[in-house]
Amino acid sequence: MRTTLSPETDASPTTLPEKTTIQLTINGSVHHLELAPWTSLLDALREYLHLTGTKKGCDHGQCGACTVLVDGKRINSCLTLAIMKEGAEITTIEGLAGENGLHPLQTAFIEHDAYQCGYCTPGQICSAVGLMNEGRAKTTDDIRELMSGNICRCGAYPHIVDAIQEVMKIDPKA
């Protein structure tokens, strides 16, 4: 049997709220947002906080353009509900630069021309920072494999790997 709820019926315990207030810590700042419970972290960042560095690529978790760091780990923000990240430390591309300037990976991307059109760059850099935090990349092949979830439409992969190698001090011949 199928039950249909309409605006005329009384709200049942299974009716979802239109919006809920959540608190997110993003790039070291606390934000209080009123969002629908089904709002993705990506949409909360871009549409509500106007942090547009994080890109919407495929919106299916397949391209990595939306990669951000949550508690230092890389995630696809398009596949994550914002409400699930209350209490977590979220870092976007806008939060990587410090008081002393750009993050070393941001500098390396510039020096190695690893950004080309720039659309995937924020996700690539956040993913690379997460890769470094994981500590599993020991070789060039490890970097390639662990970055394979981030697509670059311009094909700047060799430059991206070079930039990551430089910051990680991995010998390209290893």
Whole-angstrom CA distances from 165 to 51, 79, 84, 161 are 28, 29, 33, 6
Q: What is the mean pLDDT of residues 88-116?
A: 96
Check whether residue 85 and residue 28 sit in a common domain. yes
Check whether residue 111 and residue 82 sit in a common domain. no
Per-residue pLDDT band for 15 (boundaries 50, 70, 90) equals: confident
Range of the domain at 54: 20-95
pLDDT for position 7: 54
pLDDT for position 52: 97
pLDDT for position 130: 98
| CATH number of the domain within which 25 lies | 3.10.20.30
Per-residue pLDDT band for 3 (boundaries 50, 70, 90) equals: very low
> What phi, psi does 106 have (nearest 5°)?
-60, -45
pLDDT in tens, 24-44: 999 999 999 999 999 999 999
pLDDT in tens, 59-101: 999 999 999 999 999 999 999 999 999 999 999 999 999 999 9
More confidently predicted of 14 and 77: 77
pLDDT in tens, 137-169: 999 999 999 999 999 999 999 999 999 999 999
pLDDT for position 163: 97
Long-range CB pairs of 105-112 (<8 Å, 24+ gap) are 105/129, 105/132, 105/163, 105/164, 105/167, 108/162, 108/163, 108/164, 108/166, 108/167, 109/159, 109/160, 109/163, 111/163, 111/166, 112/159, 112/160, 112/162, 112/163, 112/166
Single residue among 48, 73, 95 that ends a domain in this structure: 95
Check whether residue 77 and residue 124 sit in a common domain. no
Check whether residue 27 and residue 91 sit in a common domain. yes
Total number of domains constituting the chain = 2
- Taking the whole predicted model, whether its pTM rises above 0.75 is answered as yes
- Tell me: pLDDT of 4 over 60: no
Per-residue pLDDT band for 19 (boundaries 50, 70, 90) equals: very high
pLDDT for position 67: 98
Say if 135 falls within a structural domain.
yes
Say if 3 falls within a structural domain.
no
The Cα–Cα gap between 114 and 112 comes to: 5
**Average pLDDT of the chain to the nearest whole number:** 92
Q: In a 10 Å sphere around its CB, with 0-12 CB exposed, 13-18 middle and 19+ buried, how is residue 151 labelled?
A: middle
Single residue among 77, 95, 113 that ends a domain in this structure: 95
